[in-house]
Chain A
Amino acid sequence: MTTTETTPVIPLPARAAAALTGLGALATAASAAMSWTWTSDFPGDLTYYGSPAGLQWLALTAGILTLVLLLATQGVPGLRWAAPTRSNNAVLYAATGALAVSAYSVTSIAVELDGLVNLEPGGWVLAAGGLITVLGALGLPLDRRTHVPLRIVDKRLFLLVPAAPLVWFGAHAIPGDKPVAPVLTALAGGVAIATGAVLLLQLGHLANSRLRLGKIERPLPAPRLLPSWVEVLIIVGAFGLGLFAITFGIDTEYGELFTGFLLFTALAVAALTKSGLIARLRALTVKHRPVTTGAAFAAAASFPFTQSSDQYTSVATNILIFATVALGLNIVVGLAGLLDLGYVAFLGVGAYAAALVSGSPASPIHVQFPFWAAMLTGAAVSMVFGVLIGAPTLRLRGDYLAIVTLGFGEIFRITMLNLNGTTGPKITNGSNGIPRIPDLEILGFDLGKSHTVAGIELGRFSNYYLLMLLVTALVVLIFARVGNSRIGRAWVAIREDETAAEAMGINGFRLKLLAFALGACLAGLAGTVQAHVSYTVTPDQYTFAEALPPNSAFLLAAVILGGMGTISGPLAGATLLFLIPKKLEFLADYQLLAFGAALIILMRVRPEGLIPNRRQQLEFHEAAIPAQPTGEPTALTKAGA
């Protein structure tokens, strides 16, 4: 029985569909050169002809990407490399990207400037272009499943639909001065949001059952044999492109552009995955491991050179700190399987240790260690704390450990608050923290001053960015080497089944303590740099949960969202988790709501994380497992020796 087919969603002649898609893509790309709106009030000033800005660049890229993929799947010579799978689904995803950019741009212009009248011809071309592209792409022969049953959201949830207007009416029927009125209004808002979510979910199910998009496994044509140096160049080019995309994301000056950028990037990556290009690239990176690592590092190191001011390098530096700590946490959570909810405390310990020996006038210890010594101090003190906290708690398993670590994280923060001279000895200045931490000077190089390298001025944050990058590289190296060794295997074994691991001769307690200590040590290392980057350390930088990273909840989210047990996962997760709340500031009061919604959507779409471990990928997508007689899957999860 066949379960897949290659048919269009909208019955159109294949030629006509392709022509329509191409036309739409061209229109979308061309609209970038036109004026979208008459006033410069909309962020980015989209009023010029022939000079694309902000969202217009996204439209241009989306149009071109769709066009290239379309020509590739149509088999145009010279472009066939772009879509090794020949799947038209790739075109559809790219077209959806174009539609997302156009719909999002048109809507936000209409909303922010009050009405569609504010659209110039370019805006209309954009809107039409996006629509036509998707309509055309739906007419292409797509990889689809033959039958997808329509799933219905729990019917009881539909009761919300009549409930919403009732509550709203109730809220307005009561005179405003009654104390219940604001409560009812808030309730009406909540019910409205829930109703919207239910309707959206049902709409998603409906679309899924109509579109029936699926994946058809086709053997990829053997890649053309290229000289080694060309393959290396391709890898370098891909990382260059990656750097460009991330730089674009970090540099977005207003939230509207960032949201558009996220929407488009997600769909573009999906399109490139469907086209088989990502698989090709992955094969190349596996073949040239050292080149890939080098290229990734070089791409990251060249970020400050793309910046004209320090505004975004400070963001990038904080992303690196956050990402490095997340990677450290990944040893504890991802490898050893220990749920640590107070991890940010170790970052704090490292930062406080470095601040105390930094020579800051507020520090009671009047010494100034050279940086290498301060770094070792921070890492060592943090590790000692890791052992001290771990030794009594690591005998606990699972949820109990999580609660105890949560407690210890808070104890650290409150202790730092209390060592203020009134409620305890005067060491940390309580809530004032330790201010005026001097800038680092390494081998006569003052990191606080601007330096000109190769004609480009590198400011204070650029210096710290590069320093932090070295720390990140060190942590990546340690993670990779330890993770893939006798110790790393023992950690994973403990995570999988502690009793069986002990029966295999693994000293569970000692190895868990080792994971805890190493994780703490790496966080402390990052903390020493953080203390200098932010001039001041205060206790409230190290809380369990807050609107902005780093804090324990965000660190854990970065690890889980990015992909447990991998290196690139937490780095990507941390970048995203840092940027989303930062760039959503324009949503003001709704920032956290939107952030929460983004998290839920991400976890719903990719439960295994953005960049999953090979193992996790198999776990969450059972269908992806090569067909094999699986005897008794339950046998593996049963407890009791």
Chain B
Amino acid sequence: MSTTAAPLLEVTGVTMRFGGLTAVNNVSLTVGEGEIIGLIGPNGAGKTTFFNCLTGLYVPTEGAVRYRDVVLPPKPHLVTQAGIARTFQNIRLFANMTVLENVLVGRHTRTKEGIFSAILRGPGYHRAEAESRAKAMELLEFTGLAAKADHLARNLPYGEQRKLEIARALASEPGLLLLDEPTAGMNPQETRAAEELVFAIRDKGISILVIEHDMRFIFNLCDRTAVLVQGQKIVEGDRETVQNDERVITAYLGAPLEDSTPAGPETVTETDQ
């Protein structure tokens, strides 16, 4: 555990309830400057809900999320402005905009030109627009999409759509990037390329919190990994700690047969805990 780095993101006791269902239960997590943190867990463990709590899509029922020592406002656009960008589990690009336009939209919070500036088109407007375009093209070069800048996002192959989502998120100049299953549906080569991309992003000084199912990907990348099972963080640590933890094995592979009878009802009553 790298305790030396100042915590960039500090999540304390976040709980998210939907009526009687507790999707996320008292989860705490810190992400330090320049760290790559993994978040794993079986389907329905509450990983994406946890992400949505961080990014202001949901307001956590309890607990607080602090970024650079400031409590995050519960509005997605303000969270992005504060410096946290995200990608989505199901790719959510602006399908009928070009690749370049998608990235330019990502620059929205870092530019200020309002409606009058757009109508009058003074020198300031042209400067800001040119700067935005240059930065966007730089990101497209970085993700290897520069040649397709004028294509419609919907016409990109799946792997490139994932990359574009990352480029779009990076355009908002975040300090922390949240990746929700960045390698879902990718083949091994593409996954390896994604790994390299994540390292390259970290080398730019951006911390990363990543949800993933691909264990090899997670353990190759992450400094620490947290395991979420049925809304609760059961363990956090490096590869060895997580892989050898019995509760993790039980969560993924199921308990040995003789223990399964008591485990059954426990699962059902989980939400009441």
Contacts and interface: CB of A to CB of B under 8 A. Distances in A.
A480 to B, nearest CB: 10
B13 to A, nearest CB: 23
Interface in B107-123: 107-109, 111, 113-115, 117-119, 121
Interface size class of A (residues with CB under 8 A): 35 or more
Interface stretch (A144-152, A266-274, A577-585, A626-634): A626-634
Given A489-B104, A489-B105, A500-B94, A481 B118 contact: yes
Nearest to B174: A505
Interface string A503-524: 1111110000010001000000
B89 interface: yes
A386 interface: no
B96 A514 contact: no
A486 B108 contact: yes
B124 interface: no
B157 A487 contact: no
A490 interface: yes
A493 B77 contact: no
B80 interface: yes
Contacts of B85: 503-504
A632 B113 contact: no
A454 interface: no
Contacts of A482: 115, 118-119
Contacts of A636: 91-93, 95, 153-154, 161
A493 B105 contact: yes
A632 B125 CA distance: 38
Nearest to B92: A500
Contact of A502 (B77, B104, B111, B114): B77
Given A628-B155, A628-B157, A641-B48, A488 B118 contact: yes
A624 to B, nearest CB: 11
A492 interface: yes
Given A630-B155, A635-B161, A514 B115 contact: yes
Nearest to B153: A636
A497 to B, nearest CB: 5
Contacts of A615: 96-97, 152
Given A615-B96, A628-B157, A629-B157, A481 B111 contact: no
A493 B97 contact: yes
B91 A635 contact: yes
Given A502-B77, A505-B172, A631-B161, A618 B155 contact: yes
B118 A486 contact: yes
B97 A506 contact: no
Contact of A641 (B89, B154, B157): B89
A489 B77 contact: no
Interface in B52-70: 52, 55, 57
A159 interface: no
Contacts of B94: 492-493, 496-497, 500-501
B65 to A, nearest CB: 15
Interface string A458-493: 000000000000000000011001100111111011
B267 interface: no
B118 A487 contact: yes
A635 B157 CA distance: 11
Contacts of A604: none
B158 interface: yes
B55 A630 contact: no
B81 interface: yes
Contacts of B154: 618, 630, 633, 636
Given A506-B77, A631-B161, A497 B97 contact: no
Contact of B90 (A502, A507, A628, A635): A635
B106 to A, nearest CB: 5
Which of A489, A499, A504, A631 has the largest number of chain B CB atoms within 10 A?
A504
Nearest to A474: B119
Contact of B80 (A505, A631, A641): A505
A219 interface: no
Contacts of B119: 477-478, 481-482
Interface in B2-57: 48, 51-52, 55, 57
Interface string A608-641: 0000000110110000011011111101111111
B66 to A, nearest CB: 19
A490 B105 contact: yes
Interface string A263-283: 000000000000000000000
A487 B80 contact: no
A62 to B, nearest CB: 38
Given A499-B57, A502-B76, A632 B185 contact: yes
Contacts, number: 150
Contacts of A489: 97, 101, 104-105, 108
B76 A503 contact: yes
A262 to B, nearest CB: 31
B214 to A, nearest CB: 18
B168 interface: yes
Contacts of B111: 486
A631 B97 contact: no
Given A636-B93, A636-B154, A504 B57 contact: no
Contact of B113 (A486, A639, A640): A486
A641 B77 contact: no
A626 B172 CA distance: 31
Contacts of A632: 158, 185
Contacts of A478: 119
Nearest to A478: B119
A551 B272 CA distance: 56
Contacts of B169: 504
A505 B90 CA distance: 19
Point out which of B125, B154, B156 has the most chain A C-beta atoms below 10 A from its C-beta: B154
B199 interface: no
B115 A487 contact: yes
A505 B81 contact: yes
B77 A508 contact: yes
A503 B92 CA distance: 10
Contacts of A618: 96, 152, 154-155
Nearest to A507: B77
Nearest to A488: B118
Contact of A625 (B76, B90, B115, B155): B155
A566 to B, nearest CB: 13
Contacts of A502: 75-77, 80
B237 interface: no
A502 B94 CA distance: 12
Given A492-B94, A493-B97, A503 B86 contact: yes
Nearest to B98: A615
B217 interface: no
B49 to A, nearest CB: 9
Contact of B95 (A496, A628, A641): A496
B88 interface: yes
Nearest to A499: B92
A245 B109 CA distance: 47
Contacts of B180: 641
Interface of A: 477-478, 481-482, 485-490, 492-493, 496-497, 499-508, 514, 518, 615-616, 618-619, 625-626, 628-633, 635-641
Interface of B: 48, 51-52, 55, 57, 75-77, 80-81, 85-86, 88-97, 101, 104-109, 111, 113-115, 117-119, 121, 125, 129, 132, 151-159, 161, 168-169, 171-172, 180, 185
Given A482-B115, A496-B96, 4 more contacts: A496-B97, A500-B92, A504-B85, A635-B185
Q: Which 7 A-B pairs have the closest CB atoms?
A: A631-B158, A505-B109, A485-B118, A505-B80, A500-B92, A638-B90, A496-B94
17 contacts: A477-B119, A485-B113, A485-B118, A486-B107, A486-B111, A496-B94, A504-B106, A504-B108, A504-B172, A505-B77, A505-B80, A506-B105, A615-B152, A635-B158, A638-B91, A640-B89, A641-B90
